């Protein structure tokens, strides 16, 4: 199960269960309207906030907005990531 962690307008921020089990650094997926792993953006939360994959669902201004939301909620998102990762492993 890939839980939704945050929603800001039409932007949905969620963790992917595969990432929690198979990756060591925190990441979050961002989509618009629904969770779509194949088309959504993936953002690294560490060591710095960075785009891992732009995806296909977000326009440039939406991706920029998503990055701002992630920056504003960075501590919360990392805390939630490690809590989720502990449960998924």
71-85 pLDDT tens trace: 999 999 999 999 998
The per-residue pLDDT for range 42-68, each reduced to its tens digit, is 999 999 999 999 999 999 999 999 999
pTM: 0.91
Non-local CB neighbours of 22 within 8 Å, separated by 6+ positions:
none
Question: Which has the closest alpha carbon to 70: 5, 16, 25?
Answer: 5
Q: Are strands 50-53 and 41-44 parallel, antiparallel or unpaired?
A: antiparallel
* Residue 13 to residue 71: CA distance in whole angstroms: 13
């Amino acid at each position: 199960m890939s839980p939704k962690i945050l929603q800001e307008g039409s932007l949905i921020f969620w963790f992917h269960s595969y990432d929690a089990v198979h990756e060591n650094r925190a990441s979050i997926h961002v989509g618009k309207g629904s969770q779509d792993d194949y088309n959504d953006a993936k953002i690294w939360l560490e060591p710095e906030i960075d785009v891992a994959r732009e995806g296909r669902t977000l326009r440039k201004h939406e991706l920029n907005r998503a990055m701002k939301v992630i920056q504003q909620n960075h501590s919360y998102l990392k805390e939630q990531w490690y809590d989720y990762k502990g449960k998924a492993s």
